[in-house]
Structure 1
Amino acid sequence: MTTLLLDQSRLEIALTRTERLLAFQRGNVWIERETIARLQLTDEPATWLRGVRAPGTHVPRVVSLGTWRSAQGDDFVAIRHGRPGVVIDLEGDAHFSRLVLSTRHGLALAKALHLDDGDAADAEV
């Protein structure tokens, strides 16, 4: 699915051209590291979808990509159904209040985000 790149200052959600097209995104999604409030691992990220898709793509039991709008804020979603993932709560981000992502590397991402000494500079997750 998506590639997650983490450095000392931000998390980049690198989307393929097809993913950008389906998610209605012009480029990759950048999240400042200090806006990440909480990360939760999940076996089925699709259960965390909230609100309505606007804009984006949703094929039931296959894929969900794009922005989901709800009363709690906008979520960026990039999931393949049936695969493990992460839910990342954001505080103070200009565009999103939460990220819901499919990734096999959720545990590694969680560990890298909790490093305070900066040893994870330019870590690809």
Structure 2
Amino acid sequence: MGKKTLVIGASVKPDRYSNYAIQKLVNKGQDVVAFGMKEGTVAGVKIDTQLQPYENIHTITLYLNPKRQEAYYDYIVSLKPKRVIFNPGTENYEFYEILKKNNINYETACTLVLLSTNQY
């Protein structure tokens, strides 16, 4: 498997970018776990509605606006990911500073574009 990725803000709605990202991550051979507000399954990945103590998370890709991210700052830092991807619309300068202080890399990028261009 590839880089274990946690999708935060996952949705079962097929028109959501988080849904498409899960599908594309799975198709590219990445190990994927997902957290969202509603239970469901996308491309064989169960969406958890309770925060889990996932281990060995390489990348967290965010699909939550900055205000909604605040509730997850401590949780995300506790998982010690190698990087956090801020997809378009999720940019959050306050969270960037928290990640920097905890030696967690971040990038403002689109997960779908990174996967499409083999830069993931």
**TM-score (structure 1 length as normaliser):** 0.28
| Larger proportion of helix | 2
Question: Between Structure 1 and Structure 2, which shows a larger proportion of strand residues?
Answer: 1
